Copies of this chain bind each other. A is one copy, B any other.
Amino acid sequence: MACDFGIQCLLLSTCPACLLFCHVFQESLLSSSSGYSNYRGILNWCVVMLVLSNARLFLENIIKYGILVDPIQVVSLFLKDPYSWPAACLIIVSNVFILAALYTERRLAVVSLHISPDNTFSFAHMTQISCQVQAILLCMCVCVSVGGVISLGVYTVLFLKLYSYQDTNRWCREIRQAKAKKMTRSFSCPSVAQSNGSAAHTHVSYPGNLTHRDMYYFVFAPTLCYQLNFPRSPRIRKRFLMRRLLEMLFLMQLLVGLIQQWMVPTIQNSMKPFQEMDFSRMVERLLKLAVPNHLIWLIFFYWFFHSSLNFVAEMLQFGDREFYRDWWNSETVTYFWANWNIPVHKWCLRHFYKPMLRNGVNKFLAQTAVFLASAFFHEYLVSVPLKMFRLWAFMGMMAQVPLAWFVGRFLNGNYGNAAMWISLIIGQPIAVLMYVHDYYIIHHVNTT
């Protein structure tokens, strides 16, 4: 505005002429007609509110229960009876299966030069699998709570690894035979063209991989899928290794502390409303449990899939660090399940889903079968240590199929993402409470 009150005024706009008009025609920012959409500050608001709410819950918990964290208790769980460690023995025995798998493959490599691999497949596999199932049954009878879960986990991982080992070696034999049949065309499969971080490791092809060194590298490598020449990282980064190790130790302590201080009292307090079937209190308890349960799951996710697997991978110079993808952005349930646990997802895809497709099963049926297998493993890993078959975990996993259909059909974008989070935050504590409730009923109500 032109102004007659001098230079001083033009800078500060303090003269009467400049002050006279202070209103212009404009809409409020929150009116839809203003076209404003910068709500960057809202994210900070959410974070601050979450931190403050949880700080309060934490303080309330400390006031109510005092400090319950007790690292000695955890150690004592492992060392309960130091002269008979069934779990440790079982883990040592697992070497038998590893070596059996290796020697079977060595034998098959020779035999299959003469006979068709299709016959040998079923025989070798069946022997292996039946042995492992027997070991698992043994494990179920012997196991004590924590050691039992660990040995069961080890056996399950080993089962998946050896299955993959046998499958992959069988494919190599198939390729060798196909090659032998039509020698005219050269096969590109065991080529050096694959991306390999280091040139120092020599390239091996089929029968050459059947060594103890290669077998044990695969057993310890953070993957469930066997491959002839794993991509390798050029060197062990000391700082990276140290950071992952510190994360592992710290988060381990945090997890144990949160479980002792927050989960256990909340679960104990939830028993009464669940026995009395007081519905509104049950929902309140469920929501109260949801927060620590979800936090523990998130910390566990980071601890296992980022810190621990990266630590092992760095130690072994294992190159493929894709242990998870961006599941936090997933807008469908299927995307979440396909991306939060890449080692298992890769195994399912490679050794379960794709072979099914190859045998002419349609996609939806194959997907459901994968969920079914996954549901079985979830149930099995929970039921066996608790010695309680209730199918809650199984049903929780199977409920993902209709949920995936619903979310994919009716919700998309941020609504789909929110639905994924809700199912994750609410679904888990429901299953946890179901098992704890049943466990409590069996062990405490009947005895008193």
Contact B49 A50 (CB under 8 A): yes
Cβ of A133 under 8 Å from chain B: no
Please, how many angstroms separate the alpha-carbon atoms of A129 and B14 in the complex? 23
Which B residues lie within 8 Å of A13 (CB)?
354
Contact B350 A421 (CB under 8 A): no
Cβ of A365 under 8 Å from chain B: no
Contact B325 A29 (CB under 8 A): yes
Identity of the chain B residue whose Cβ is nearest the Cβ of A285 in the assembled complex: B56
Cβ of A368 under 8 Å from chain B: no
Within 8 A of B (CB), among A31-61: 31, 36, 38-50, 52-53, 55-56, 59-60
Contact A46 B39 (CB under 8 A): no
Please, how many angstroms separate the alpha-carbon atoms of A240 and B44 in the complex? 31
Please, how many angstroms separate the alpha-carbon atoms of A415 and B233 in the complex? 37
Interface range for A: 35 or more
Stoichiometry (number of copies): 2
Distance (whole angstroms) from the CB of A429 to the closest CB of chain B: 11
Cβ of A432 under 8 Å from chain B: no
- Main secondary structure on A side of the interface with B: helix
Contact A23 B231 (CB under 8 A): yes
Contact string, A1-16, partner B, CB cutoff 8 A, digits 1/0?
1111000000011111
Contact A319 B25 (CB under 8 A): yes
Which B residues lie within 8 Å of A325 (CB)?
29
**Interface CB pairs A-B, < 8 A, 7:** A20-B171, A23-B319, A24-B231, A25-B319, A36-B326, A40-B329, A53-B291
Residues on A facing B (Cβ under 8 Å): 1-4, 12-17, 19-31, 36, 38-50, 52-53, 55-56, 59-60, 62-63, 168, 170-172, 174-175, 178, 182, 185, 187-190, 193-197, 223, 225, 227-228, 230-233, 240, 280-281, 283-284, 287-288, 290-291, 294, 302, 305-306, 310, 319-326, 328-330, 346, 350, 354-355, 357-358, 414, 417-418, 421-422, 425-426
Instruction: List 13 extra interface pairs beyond A20-B172, A63-B281, CB under 8 A.
Output: A4-B178, A4-B185, A12-B357, A14-B354, A15-B358, A24-B322, A25-B319, A26-B321, A28-B323, A29-B325, A40-B329, A49-B425, A63-B280
